[in-house]
Amino acid sequence: MSIKLLVFPHSHYCEKARWALDFKGIDYQVRVIMPWFHVRTLKKYTDVSTVPVLLNGETVVQGSSKIIDYLETQHPAHLLSPLDRYELRECLVGDRFSRADLSVSSMLSLLVMPEQHPFPWPAIPDPQLQKFIHSYHRHPVYKWAQKIYSRHR
């Protein structure tokens, strides 16, 4: 039985789900669907037209957080969820990679454009947008997201 993941290529929600699957070492197939046209495809599996959608046999899981919850129960190796409240306080700034790190880094991927992202980034032709992105290169959060991608993606 093969796991399939229905995604938009540059959605941070989809990146969060892809990254969780990769981090856990789970084999899966990505099925890229395009916005607007995705509605017809998703109607086969669910009434809601949001991505990502994980298909595992008869099981349909929709939404990046629900996908991580499902993966945590089905594939408990390499947990991304804290096991207790104390650990929850330290996830993002602690020394253990967690779903918090994965979520924030995925959201920042559109600004950071890490080379570890599974889809290629298009060239940015607009000089003002290039300048805006470049202005964040020295920001600590930008550097943090790059480090998270390089160590864990």
Domain extents in the chain: 3-74, 85-152
Q: What is the pLDDT of residue 83?
A: 60
Q: What is the pLDDT of residue 64?
A: 92
Q: What is the pLDDT of residue 82?
A: 60
Q: Does domain 3-74 have CATH number 3.40.30.10?
A: yes
Query: Which regions of the chain are under pLDDT 70?
Result: 1, 82-95
Token reading at 117:
């992202």
Gyration radius of the chain over CA positions: 16
Q: What is the pLDDT of residue 29?
A: 96
Decide: helix, strand or coil at residue 40. helix
Backbone angles phi, psi at 67, to 5 degrees: -65, -45
